[in-house]
Amino acid sequence: MNIESGNKIKVAVAMSGGVDSSVAAVIMTNKYGKNNVIGLTMKLFCYQDTENKKSCCSLDSIEDAKTVCNKLGIAHYVINAEKEFKKEVINNFITEYDEGRTPNPCVRCNKYIKFDLLIKKAREYGINYVATGHYAQIENNGQEYKLLKGIDSGKDQSYFLYDLPQEKLQSILFPLGKMTKLNVRKIAKKYDLVTAYKKESQDICFISNTVEEFLKSRIKQKSGSIVDLKGKKLGKHEGLALYTIGQRKGLGGGFKEPMFVIRSDRKTNELVIGPEINLFTNELVAEKIVWVSKKIPTFPFNCKTRIRYQSEETGCQIEEYNNKIKVYLATPQRAISPGQSVVFYLNDVVLGGGIIAG
């Protein structure tokens, strides 16, 4: 990425309290000097509402971020983003489940919080660049910015970043994009950072127990029938919001073969289950489409796609479809879930993506 050199560069590093953002701060400080780099940590929710101390946004993590900044000699600030996070991420998460979809809160957090609110806050400090610990790359070919996968295929996070427009990409730095996790750990140990041996959180940051328990406390549940693909009643469910496509647990027993959630019917309040083979399909419809490039692709076209984070890529053909797009998959995919993101790639370049509608 081509940006100015010298003391004119001011960078705010998004500090989550993890090893990745800590090493991003090391790299930025070494490159631009400690007087030109600050650490920004966002307080995203009321910590009385969660006991998830391993969360990337916990009080312990905020303290770790502060400790790293002190060691590097850079200023550290905490931004209260509870109101925005609750509106754009937590409330949306609850609403989506209540309406029968399976959302991806990390995609929305990146779009509305990390690369919207955080960039705005950084500019209040007179800073035009925000660096994060994401494993992805940004390139500028002189005409537009391109979003690319990180070189560490096991850590690549480009899937979560497809919804970043050109004006945001020009303000973002991903210093770990050309690094492996192993090398990031080595740097953290070399600088004796408090986060060097810290384990990664795989949980949703604002949920301290399970998704099911979280939803039970926030969505009024209505029990109904569990039925097979022919409509035969097989049992009772505790509330449709508590079940996701592909789920096996909590469906009862006594079946001749393993049964999975195939879909839910909001009109009849029925949960439809069936054998695993019925979870596979080779097409989907997506909406709210975003293209990273300034140029909208000419339909139809072929590329590769992922239907969820860390799923295997598969070839696909994309066509326009009633103001949405239809995606024909070369390899049938399991448990395609409305509400999840589908992301499109051409080699290592992220073309864009959208939300699965069905």
Do 263 and 300 lie in a common domain?
A: no
- The confidence score (pLDDT) of residue 202 equals 67
Residue linked to tokens 């990745």: 20
In a domain, 203, yes or no: no
pLDDT digits (tens, 9 = 90+) for 176-229: 999 999 999 999 999 999 999 988 876 788 888 889 999 999 999 999 999 999
Same domain, 236 and 151: no
- Is 205 part of any domain? no
d(CA 121, CA 108): 18
Residue 175 and residue 230: Cα distance in Å, rounded?
Answer: 53
Number of structural domains (the chain) is 3
**β-pairing, 301-306 with 341-346?**
antiparallel
Please give the C-alpha separations between residue 61 and each of 37, 164, 273, 300, in angstroms, as whole numbers.
Answer: 20, 26, 41, 46
Q: What is the CATH number of the domain that holds 254?
A: 2.30.30.280
In this prediction, residue 179 carries a pLDDT of: 98
DSSP 35-64: GGEEEEEEE-S-GGG---TTSTTSHHHHHH
Min mean pLDDT across 45-54, 129-138, 180-189, 243-252 is at 45-54
User: Which residues form the domain of 237?
Assistant: 220-274
Give, in order, the Cα–Cα distances in Å from 159 to each of 103, 143, 312: 14, 23, 12
Residue 198 belongs to some domain of the structure: no
Active centre residues (catalytic): 109, 205
Least confident of 31-45, 198-212, 226-240: 198-212
Helix (H, G, I), strand (E, B) or coil at 147: strand
What does the pLDDT average to over 291-307? 94
The pTM of this model reads: 0.92
Judgement on whether residues 116 and 27 belong to the same structural domain of the protein: yes
Return the higher-pLDDT residue of 347 and 4: 347
- The tens digit of pLDDT for each residue in 122-139 reads 999 899 999 999 999 999
pLDDT at res. 3 = 44
User: Are residues 176 and 44 located together in one domain of the fold?
Assistant: yes
Q: What does the pLDDT average to over 45-74?
A: 75
Specify if 200 maps to a domain. no
Do 253 and 158 reside in the same domain of the chain? Answer: no
Report whether pLDDT(5) > 50.
Answer: no
pLDDT cut 90: percent of the chain above it = 84
Asked whether residue 290 is assigned to any structural domain, the reply reads: yes
> To the nearest whole percent, how much of the chain has pLDDT over 70?
94
User: Same domain, yes or no, for 176 and 107?
Assistant: yes
Same domain for 227 and 308, yes or no, is no
Please check whether residues 24 and 147 belong to one and the same domain. yes
Asked if residue 335 is part of any domain, the answer here is: yes
Instruction: Report yes or no on 131 lying in a domain.
Output: yes
